[in-house]
Structure formats: C-alpha cells, structure tokens
Amino acid sequence: MTDIFLEGGRALIGAEFVETSLAVSGQDIARIGSPRGRAGLAIDARDLLVLPGIVDLHGDAFERQMMPRAGVDFPIDVALADSDRQAISNGLTTVFHATTWSWEPGLRSGDNARRLLEAIERHRPQFAADTRFHLRHETYNLDAEDEIGQWLAEGRVDLFAFNDHMDGTVADMAKPRKRNRMVERTGLSNEEFDRLVGRVIARATEVPGSVSRLATAARTAEVRMLSHDDATPAMRQGFRTMGVTIAEFPINEETARDAAGNGDAIVYGAPNVVRGGSHTGWTKASDMIAKGLCSVLASDYYYPAPLLAAFRLAADGVLPLAEAWSLVSAGPARAAGLTDRGVIADGRRADILLVDDSVALRPRLVAVISAGKLVHLTDATRLLGAATTPHEAVAAA
C-alpha cells in the first residue's frame, strides 16, 4: 500500500482546526505535523479542510439502485457497487446498509435481505467504503426470529434495529397514494395485501416475547441495538432495559430528553437538517441538535446529506463546524463501538476527507482516503511530485 502525505490543510484535531500536515502509512494515520519523508504519494491540502471520514449508521438509499422504479429490479451486486461509489463521493467512508426485513414480500422481504447480506459479505473486499450490515427487523415479522437469531450468533449482523411500522401501515391503507406505493413495493394485489396485513396483525400478542428473545440474542453476540421511532419515554425505557442503547429518530422532544438523560446515543436524519425539517412532519432535527438532544446524524435516504448537514448547522449558527462534524464522524463511530475511527489522531484508521469550503453551504469534496487508500480525487492538480531520495538531492546540488 502506498504511503500518503497531506501537505498543509486545516485539520480537525480534537475540537479545533489546526494548520498542519499528515502522514498516512498502511491503513493508519502515522504522524501529525511531520515532514513528507519517503511517502510515495503527496497531496496539496493547503486551503482545504482535512476532516475524518463520515460514519453512516443508517443509509437505505441503496434501495433505489436495486429498484429504481416499482417492479424494476437490478442485480444486487451492480446496485451495491453503484451505491459504494455514491457513498465515497459524498465522504462516507464507513457505511452501514440499513436493510429492512419485513413481513411483506418484495423489496423488503426475507429473500431480499438474504441476498443483500450474502452480496455484502461476498463483495466487501471490493468496496472503497468499509461496508457493514445493519438489519432493521420489523417486529411483527415473527417467522424470521429463528433465522435472525442465527445470523446474530454467527456474527453476520453489525447493527440490529427494532422497527414497528404496523400502526403506520394500517393508517396508510386508507390513503390511496401511500397505499398504492406500499402495495407496489410488495408485488401483491390489493386484496392479497389486505389479507396479509390481517394475518400479521392477528399475531400482535406474540411480538413482545419475540423482541425480548432477539434482544437477548443480540446482547449475547455483543451487537449494538437501535430502537426506531420511539414515541414515548416509556417506550425508550423499555428498550433500554433490554440493552438497546441507541434511540433512532425519537419522534418528540420528551422521548429524546429521556434518551439523552440516560446516556443513550440519539440518531436523527441528516436530510432533515438539510431540508430544514422532517419530510414526515415530525421532529425538526436542528432544534434537537441545538438542545443537545442528538449525537448522530445519518444519511437515511440521501447520501449527500451528512456532509451538507454539518456545514448547514455551522452556517446557521446551531453548532461550530467542529461540533457539527462530530455528529457525522466521532458520534456515530462511538455509538457503533468503532474505536479506531471518527477522529484524526496518530494510530487511528486513515479515513480522511479533503474539503473545499470556499462556497457557503456547498462544501466540495476534493479527495477521499479510505483505510489509507486514495479512492476519490476530483482535482489532479493537487497531486505533488514524487519524493526526492537523498541520492537524487545530492546529484541535483
């Protein structure tokens, strides 16, 4: 692997931006503030920000590469390769593909979840981003419990989330536009969909026991857990007692405060920040951030959002950029238990972004280094000449 030297640049070191140089050796940051030495590749980072790579705990934009239109499928390996390039080109160096395994057939079926898991495992070495599997379990999907428990025991799941969208599904069945979208996603007829929902709801009393057993399996496997769309402090407390320490998109301030007061990680969507509010009309993420009720921002359904969100928070005066950046790097790394990344420091994994911040609210990604490899470069004039050996230097004199 070629050693890389970053000359100059305003690097985020701790909570401050420092004008310095960085040396990368192998997969790690070797030295901060060192001379170039014999690095085979050097990049001029002057006038650029040098930031730790984005850690994205929840992104499902890859579904659009799998099914760009309802009923139009593309091979999973093609979809994942395209998603990898999109993620890297937006600064996401660690990606948790949020894969929903629901009780419904189609895009979010068990067959699709299995294919995705197998494809991620098979093609992971080829991806530029560190690509991981975040399983989003619909709690009414009772028939999947045994297989999911096996996946957890085998170490195949990197994050495990409890989702319960049943109330929303029932409500949306009375809304023609949303109903049509749900039915199209499953490939069923309207009548078949209605019958399926009826059968699933009839087993509601079995759900709590299943959730408890799967939480025990995840704890045993030491897999971090999330609860999705917590609606009340009591709901958050119930999940916390089962070891679910990440609150993903709590839907009101009261629930977020309960999470924060008990040391839980709190995830909101970066698109919410970029757009100035939730597309569902629920909690406004920037308000929660201003109140100290958010520790992680995720791409959710739009890969460009984390990069844009951090700069928007700074421009709007919600947080200084260093603190805003923590929401997309150090915060998610900490929540996921990834102690080797999320900050720029000696010995940490070399996931590094070079960003041109000269245009307000529109940061431009110039280069991405992932695990010590230059995997994205938009400005070749930033490449510096080859290092001069001592022999060459004497000869030139």
pLDDT digits (tens, 9 = 90+) for 94-116: 999 999 999 998 888 999 999 99
Residues 325-384: tens digit of each pLDDT: 999 999 999 999 999 999 999 999 999 999 999 999 999 999 999 999 999 999 999 999
What is the C-alpha to C-alpha distance for residues 63 and 83, in angstroms, rounded to an integer? 9
Q: What is the DSSP letter of 338?
A: -
Q: What is residue 22's predicted lDDT score, i.e. its pLDDT? A: 96
Burial of 85 (0-12, 13-18, 19+ CB in 10 A): middle
In a structure prediction context, what are the per-residue pLDDT tens digits for the chain, which is 397 residues long? 789 999 999 999 999 999 999 999 999 999 999 888 888 899 999 999 999 999 999 999 998 888 888 778 899 999 999 999 999 999 999 999 999 999 998 888 999 999 999 999 999 999 999 999 999 999 999 999 999 999 999 999 999 999 998 888 888 888 888 888 888 878 889 899 889 999 999 999 999 999 999 999 999 999 999 999 999 999 999 999 999 999 999 999 999 999 999 999 999 999 999 999 877 677 899 999 999 999 999 999 999 999 999 999 999 999 999 999 999 999 999 999 999 999 999 999 999 999 999 999 999 999 999 999 999 999 999 999 765 544 343 343 3
For the chain, give every domain's residue range. Answer: 4-52+345-396, 54-161+204-226+243-335
Q: Which of 150, 194, 192, 147 is nearest to 170 (CA)?
A: 194
Q: What is residue 393's predicted lDDT score, i.e. its pLDDT? A: 37
Q: Do 363 and 355 meet the contact criterion of CB atoms below 8 Å apart?
A: yes
Does the fold of domain 54-161+204-226+243-335 match that of domain 4-52+345-396?
no
Q: Do 275 and 308 meet the contact criterion of CB atoms below 8 Å apart?
A: no
What is the C-alpha to C-alpha distance for residues 36 and 83, in angstroms, rounded to an integer? 34
pTM, two decimals, is 0.92
- Region of residue 161 (left: phi > 0; alpha: psi -120 to 50; beta: else): beta
Question: What is the fold, at CATH topology level, of the domain defined by 54-161+204-226+243-335?
Answer: TIM Barrel (3.20.20)
Q: Which of 348, 368, 296, 379 is nearest to 129 (CA)?
A: 368
> How many other C-beta atoms lie within 10 A of the C-beta of residue 259?
27
Q: Which CATH class is domain 4-52+345-396?
A: mainly beta
Q: Which of 244, 259, 236 is nearest to 212 (CA)?
A: 244
Q: What is residue 179's predicted lDDT score, i.e. its pLDDT? A: 86
